[in-house]
Amino acid sequence: MGSFDSLEWLNRFLDETPGDIEVGGPTRQVPNACWSRVKPTPSPQPKLMLWSEEMASKLNLDRPDGIVLGGNEIIEGMDPYAQRYGGHQFGNWANQLGDGRAITLGEVKLQSEVLELQLKGSGKTPYSRFADGKAVLRSSIREFLCSEAMYHLKVPTTRALSLVTTGEEVLRDMMYDGNPALETGAIVCRVAPSFIRFGSFQIHTASNDYDTLKTLVEHTVKTHFPEHSITSDEEIVQWLTHIAKKTAVMISHWMRVGFVHGVMNTDNMSIHGLTIDYGPYGWLEDYNPGWTPNTTDSATRRYRYGQQPKIGAWNLARLCEAMVPLMEDPSQLHEALEAYSQSYGELQNQMWAGKLGLSSFIESDEELIVELNALLQEVETDMTIFFRLLCSIEQPNIESLSDAFYDPSNIPTKLWNDWLSKWWKRVNGLPNRSEMIVSNPKYVLRNWMAQLAIDAAESGDFSVCEELFNLLKNPYQEQPEFEEKWFQKRPEWARHRVGCSMLSCSS
């Protein structure tokens, strides 16, 4: 274990792709470039408040002070930059976007992998547009806790190393309603193989900059997909198929645990199939496939829970479109999209087999699952509790699952008992309980749980953050000492509270 200056730093993205000739500077359009060099804005009083020992161990890092992670010192070997990309936001092309409040410090070469370290909330970049490039404590806590929680849920994700409070206050209009307020500033250090997104390629195709597009694709494949090549149409399609299948795996896991990303724009889609950019996310409380936590999406619910698989396909189609200039026969790109659909369908079958303890998925199980999904929507039913209780049911009777319902007096008892009898017969009274337990978490980072941690931290108490951080390292274990406190339905006070039932993109 050591310090930041003991790490082996690389800057392959800067070395191998074209960049901005200007360093730092004001918000601006940056044509024909993949990045802009920029230094983090120093924090007035950086203080390390949350630290992932697991991530630190992987990086061979001892716990530091907040100087480097607060943006106040650049270690030799670091070459900080902000990435330029575009994207479709809520279905509409938004042109240049880029890292408006994230600055990559560099890549760290480890024994078996290379990981990129990025500070989120560390100040203005050329892509900040009208914003200040800062982040606040509430959004930073949500990102830190959720990144690590998702990793332990076995959901593909970026990771978090640290959370540093900056010692300054940041003005935010949380609900975009004309009522801004000062909030505590914070910076999260997040970690991934890279932060290249679908939109990283889209921006160059949209501006007809095919040379930069080709250079970026070559770098990405050589660096992150060395088993692939792009010397022919067939090879490009094989590479995109790889990305499509990884994306299908990620979204299938979201659906398994009831996670709603909330803002599946193409600039928020990782080419590694990792959950990236934790903003207005949430977990299903009531099993409502139409629910989205994002207030910005409240009118159309484009990114609602049940729509996420289709949005994954839509976003992949946009990525494929971005590759058309590199293809002689673009019609072959349909193969990658078909691979996504086929892969996702197979993964969904596997997911339901696991959640219901089936030995394998057979065609007739489709009807059983359709009926289950309809029943879960009949009355307000907690998804996480329902499936976790189902893991230990001894008889096909809904009384054993009554704690999953918000109003037990309103349970459609006969319908449920009929379905449970069908399921019980299907598994011969012997569901695969071990498989069910690893498919159905007991603890997830519900929004009301995160809000309790935020409320405490904003008054200087990070003990709730630490408790949740440790709880969520073992989401499939019983942890009886926490059951009464954290294995429960959404409290009534959280039903309509901002931060629990709804969040904005500034959250």
DSSP string, 196-260: -BHHHHHHHHHTT-HHHHHHHHHHHHHHH-TT---SSHHHHHHHHHHHHHHHHHHHHHHHHHTEE
Active-site residue, from 20, 99, 209, 267: 267
Say how far apart CA 131 and CA 120 lie, in whole Å: 13
Say how far apart CA 477 and CA 152 lie, in whole Å: 11
pLDDT of residue 507: 45
Q: Which residue has the higher pLDDT, 173 or 149?
A: 149
pLDDT of residue 506: 56
Residue 456 scores a pLDDT above 70: yes
Largest CA distance in the chain: 70
pLDDT of residue 175: 63
pLDDT of residue 503: 81
- β-sheet bridge partners, residue 114: 109
Residues 327 and 236: beta-carbon distance below 8 Å: yes
Say how far apart CA 92 and CA 300 lie, in whole Å: 13
Residues 264 and 274: beta-carbon distance below 8 Å: no
200 residue type, one letter: S
Whole-model pTM: value is 0.97
Residues 406 and 381: beta-carbon distance below 8 Å: yes
pLDDT of residue 176: 64
Residue 32 scores a pLDDT above 90: yes
Average pLDDT over residues 50-55: 98
* Tens of pLDDT, residues 371-417: 999 999 999 999 999 999 999 999 999 999 999 999 999 999 999 99
Residues 322 and 220: beta-carbon distance below 8 Å: no
Q: Where are the domains of the chain?
A: 4-195, 199-353, 360-430, 447-494
> Mapped to the 3 state alphabet, what secondary structure does 41-97 carry?
CCCCCCEEEEECHHHHHHHCECCCCCCCCCCCCCCECECCEEECCCCEECCEECCCC
* Tens of pLDDT, residues 164-190: 999 999 988 766 667 788 999 999 999
233 given a catalytic annotation: no
Residue 359 scores a pLDDT above 60: yes
